[in-house]
Amino acid sequence: KEREIAQLRRRFRSGKTNIGHIYGCFVSSKGEILSEFNQGLGLMAEEDADMLLSLLKKTMSGSINRNLIEIEFSTKQVLESEEHRLLTELRTTELKEQDVVHKLFDKIIGSYVSEDNYVILVAHDRCDVFAKNSEGEDHEESSSSFPFIVCAVCPVKMGKSVMSYYMPGNCFRSICADTAVGAPEFGFTFPAFEDGGANIYKTLYYTHDLAHGRPELVTALFGAEEMPMPAAEQKQTFAGMLSETMAEDCSMKVV
């Protein structure tokens, strides 16, 4: 799994990705969409495009079962659920249907509470998959492709004032940077990339906060009634069980 995730992560650079546009919206802390955008990467400076791609890339960072959590869909969900149908439509339409993209925005905004303004970023990519030869090396031509969508939700905060030297006036003055986009709070990739292909029964969910996996978001986006226990809670639970078990005999031999 880690190797396949790393394979996708390497794509999020100019010249490596097939992402042509990044769609999104700027949302207030009250849940109001303030603006929407369709950012063409080909029209941006390479440095700016790489910074934007790096935000999406961060939703594939961390360790499995810690920051990265596999959410599984049942067969019934794949066949009938609204949540899986929306994810599939986003993937098959390559985000070109505005009403479908808006449904995703509405689901996120309706289940996410934030003290800060934030941006929702979503993109479609298509990864070439190369078959291996008998020596374990990739063939020169791809044998198939893996189309997928990736989404990131990032906080937006006002920049801090800094002191600047203003040459025309021959003086110092305070200037304030515009809004600054932070690293993603959460995001996801659909479908999961396994064994060189798509597993439509899974999605890879990312959370920055190890103590809180945002189950309300997981339910809204994926229809999951339960999700794996957050890593911080797992650690605390294990420590409590260990303490209770060894309370009477905490000798070095037992440890």
Give the mean model confidence (pLDDT) for residues 16-28: 94
Residue of 71, 7, 90, 82 lying closest to 199 (CA atoms): 71
Q: Which of 7-16, 24-33, 52-61, 100-109 has the lowest mean pLDDT?
A: 7-16
Q: What is the pLDDT of residue 34?
A: 95
- Rounded Cα distance between 107 and 184, Å, is 17
DSSP state of 138: B
- Which pTM was predicted? 0.80
d(CA 52, CA 13): 9
What is the C-alpha separation between 127 and 197, in angstroms, rounded?
10
Whether residue 53 contacts residue 17, with contact meaning beta carbons closer than 8 Å, is answered with yes
- The size of the chain, in residues, is 255
CA gap 131, 16 in Å, rounded:
19
pLDDT averaged over the chain? Answer: 85
The helix or strand, by DSSP H or E, that contains position 98, with its residue range, turns out to be helix 98-111
pLDDT band at 88 (very low <50, low <70, confident <90, very high): very high
User: For 30-57, how does the pLDDT look when each residue is reduced to its tens digit (9 = 90+)?
Assistant: 999 999 999 999 889 999 999 999 999 9
Look-up of token digits 């893996």: 146
* Of 223, 193, 155, nearest in space to 60 by CA: 193
The pLDDT tens digits for 53-85 are 999 999 999 888 889 999 999 999 999 999 999
Whole-angstrom distance, CA of residue 153 vs CA of residue 113: 12
Would you state the pLDDT for residue 139? Answer: 47
Residue scoring higher pLDDT (163 or 21): 21
The answer to whether the beta carbons of residues 9 and 15 sit under 8 Å apart is no
Which class for 187: exposed (0-12), middle (13-18), buried (19 or more C-beta within 10 A)? buried
The two structure tokens encoding residue 105: 């925005």
pLDDT value of position 32:
96
The predicted-structure confidence for 114-172, as pLDDT tens digits, reads as follows: 999 999 999 999 988 766 555 555 545 555 789 999 999 999 987 777 777 777 777 77
Of the pLDDT bands very low, low, confident and very high (cuts 50, 70, 90), residue 254 is low
* Structure-model confidence comparison of residues 239 and 60, the more confident one: 60
Helix axes 82-92, 98-111, angle to 10 degrees: 140
Say which DSSP state 106 is in: H
